């Protein structure tokens, strides 16, 4: 039996839990034994009566009877400390935390390798497309010279509504928030920070490049309006939120 501890139980955490519970025939040897949350609410306990909630992540990352830690709590510094302790305690780690991996991924990977543990973060970039796995498992003779694409769905959705449905930016953002596509505070997505973290991870995976995220030129979509979109259309273009990294030379 693979015993799992989870850090976080928000939208993503609940989805992970529900997925494992809905497909027990596919994952018969997996059991979530403890979940760390910031607050234990009556609603949470009512909806998930069999879940053992705690507000203290420390027992999860150090417990001898937990094999895998799934991190879905977000954040960087505090989360890094917990995952570092988990790895030092002999636990495999799974995370979709792009901010964390872009900043501390190399350090965490060294710890995981030293302890012969897995650090899995494929869902941190284009979760529905196994791009990191594909780049990691290239044939020895292959060489990647460029990676890029639309890697932030929120910005892409907003621009599509502005272009195809003639919505203004504020209305398109409000629609994305009502649909759960955009966060209440959407700055990471619309300012390009989310894509910047993901691109740093892609560059590291594709080229072995240690990129400082703040040094990646970044432009958000907040200044895009109907005039800009119309001018692009007149010239035969469509504006999309692309993230691109190129390898220059052999270094």
Alpha helices in the chain (DSSP H): 11-22, 42-47, 58-62, 77-88, 98-114, 131-136, 153-164, 169-178, 187-190, 193-207, 226-234
Q: How far apart are CA 194 and CA 227, in angstroms?
A: 26
Place of tokens 């497309």: 129
Query: Please, are residues 8 and 71 in contact by the beta-carbon 8 Å criterion?
Result: yes
**Burial grade of 53 (CB within 10 A; 0-12, 13-18, 19 or more):** middle
In the block, tokens 């989360």 appear at 79
* Burial status of residue 109 (CB atoms within 10 A of its CB: 0-12, 13-18, 19 or more): middle
At residue 47, the 3 state secondary structure works out as helix
3-state secondary structure of 48: coil
Catalytic residues: 198
């Amino acid at each position: 039996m693979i015993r799992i501890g989870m850090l976080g139980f928000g939208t993503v955490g609940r989805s992970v839990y529900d997925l494992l519970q809905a497909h027990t025939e596919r994952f018969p040897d997996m059991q979530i034994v403890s979940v760390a949350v910031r607050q234990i609410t009556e609603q949470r306990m009512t909806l998930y009566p069999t879940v053992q909630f705690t507000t203290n992540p420390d027992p999860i990352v150090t417990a001898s009877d937990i094999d895998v830690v799934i991190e879905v709590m977000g954040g960087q510094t505090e989360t890094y400390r917990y995952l570092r302790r988990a790895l030092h305690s002999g636990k495999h780690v799974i995370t979709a935390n792009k901010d964390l991996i872009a900043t501390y991924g190399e350090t965490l990977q060294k710890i995981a390798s030293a302890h012969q543990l897995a650090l899995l973060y494929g869902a941190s970039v284009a979760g529905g497309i196994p791009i990191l796995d594909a780049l990691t498992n290239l044939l020895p003779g292959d060489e990647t010279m460029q990676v890029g694409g639309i890697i932030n769905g929120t910005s892409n959705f907003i621009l599509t509504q502005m272009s195809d449905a003639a919505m203004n930016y504020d209305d398109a953002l409000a629609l994305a928030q009502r649909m759960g596509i955009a966060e209440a505070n959407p700055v990471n997505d619309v300012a390009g920070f989310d894509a910047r973290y993901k691109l740093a991870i892609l560059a590291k995976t594709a080229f072995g490049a240690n990129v400082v995220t703040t040094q990646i030129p970044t432009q958000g979509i907040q200044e895009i309006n109907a005039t800009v979109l119309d001018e692009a259309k007149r010239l035969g273009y469509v504006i999309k939120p692309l993230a691109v990294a190129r390898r220059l030379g052999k270094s």
